[in-house]
């Protein structure tokens, strides 16, 4: 398992109910450098949050949304996907790998799926190198 200290910020929809009492802290401790940000709906995400997060020192950002039909607010999951795409487009324009921002749909209570995505994401970020060094776009 990859547990390197890679600063990653995960914005996740609260309705995914990923963590029971106490699990959140335990999960964060197992992933050094990981910041979990719970939001009322993934549709709350906007492109400037994502770029600002990277500009503030994060190496990658994951946005976890509910399945499109499962969004409690109907359009939130669809909107967040569009906004992530827009932010990725910005990274491309800036000559930065768009893969530093990823959008993932999860089923509720799927902590294992999150771990699998994180493993993959960490590997990807390691292959890209630190933000601010030449990278393959």
Partner 1 sequence: MIVAELKEIDEIRKMVDRYSSILVVGCDSCVAECAVGGARETQLLASALKLSYLKDRDEKVITEACLDRQCVDDFIDGIAEQVPEHDVILSLGCGAGVQALARVYTDKPIIPALNTLFIGETVMRGVWTENCLGCGQCKLGYFGAVCPVARCSKKLMNGPCGGSRGGRCEIDPETPCGWDLIIKRLEAIGELDRLSEYVPPVNWSTSHSGGPRRVIREDQKP
Q: Does 94 bind partner 1 (CB under 8 A)?
A: yes
Going by C-alpha positions, the residue among 103, 104, 100 that lies closest to residue 128 is 100
- Of 3-11, 30-38, 46-54, 101-109, the window that binds partner 1 (rule: CB under 8 A) is 46-54
CA distance 45 to 1: 29
Query: In sequence order, which ranges of 11-75 are alpha helices (DSSP H)?
Result: 23-30, 47-55
Three-class SS state of 32: coil
Tokens of 45: 């995400």
| Residue among 13, 62, 91, 106 that touches partner 1 (CB under 8 A) | 91
Q: Does 131 bind partner 1 (CB under 8 A)?
A: yes
Q: Is 3 in the site for partner 1 (CB under 8 A)?
A: no
Q: Which residues bind partner 1 (CB under 8 A)?
A: 46-48, 51-52, 54-55, 90-91, 93-96, 131-132
């Amino acid at each position: 398992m990859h547990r390197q200290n890679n600063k990653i910020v995960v914005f996740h929809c609260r309705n995914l109910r990923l963590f029971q009492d106490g699990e959140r802290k335990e999960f964060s401790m197992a992933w050094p450098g990981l910041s979990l940000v719970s939001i009322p709906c993934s549709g709350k995400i906007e492109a400037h949050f994502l770029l600002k997060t990277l500009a503030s020192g994060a190496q990658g950002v994951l946005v976890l949304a509910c399945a499109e039909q499962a969004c409690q607010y109907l359009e939130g999951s669809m909107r967040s996907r569009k906004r992530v795409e827009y932010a990725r487009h910005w990274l491309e324009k800036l000559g930065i790998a768009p893969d530093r921002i990823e959008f993932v749909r999860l089923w509720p209570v799927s902590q294992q799926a999150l771990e699998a995505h994180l493993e993959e994401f960490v590997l990807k970020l390691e292959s890209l190198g630190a933000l601010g060094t030449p990278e393959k776009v």
